[in-house]
Structure 1
Amino acid sequence: MKFQIECNTGDISKMCLICQENFQTDEARLIVCNDQGEGYGDICHQCIAKGGNWVQFQLQKFSQKLLA
């Protein structure tokens, strides 16, 4: 998995890939992508704030669900 950061020009409502909560995007979006650059979804600011190790663990669990 890869991360893609995009500038955001307006408020967009998204659902967090990790916590499944709806949130409004700010100036930038953090998008989780596969190795081909296809997006799986956005991560909200509250999940990002929990730290890189926590996010990595959550994404590993997400990855295992994709392979099942």
Structure 2
Amino acid sequence: MKFQIECNTDKINKICLICQQNFQTHEARLIVCNDQGEGYGDICYKCIANGGSWVQSQLQQFSHQLLALK
């Protein structure tokens, strides 16, 4: 998985990939992508605030769930 950071001029409502809560984007968005650059979803600011190690462990769980669906 990769992270993509995008500048954002519009306030967009999204659902966090990790906590599944609705949030409104601000000046930047953090998007989780696969190795081909296809987006899985955004991560909210509350989850980002938990730190890189926490986000990584949550995304590893998400990755395992994706593999189980294949």
TM-score normalised by structure 2 residue count: 0.97
Post-superposition, which runs of at least 4 consecutive aligned residues in structure 1 deviate over 4 A? none
Give the corresponding residue for 1:53: 53
CA deviation after TM superposition for structure 1 residue 55, in Å: 0.1
Aligned Cα root-mean-square deviation (Å): 0.2
| Paired residue type of 1:31 | I
Give the % identical residues.
79
Tell me which residue corresponds to 1:44.
44
Structure 2 unaligned segments of length 5 or more: list them: none
SS in 1 for 2:17: coil
**Shift of residue 20, structure 1, vs aligned partner:** 0.1
Question: 1:14-25, aligned counterparts within 5 Å?
Answer: 14-25=14-25
Secondary structure of the structure 1 residue equivalent to 2:11: coil
Letter in 2 for 1:61: Q
Distance in 1, matches of 2:33 and 2:24, equals: 20
The answer on 1:62 being equivalent to 2:62 is yes
Task: Give TM-score scaled by structure 1 length.
Answer: 0.99
Extract unaligned runs of 5+ from structure 1: none
- How many corresponding residue pairs? 68
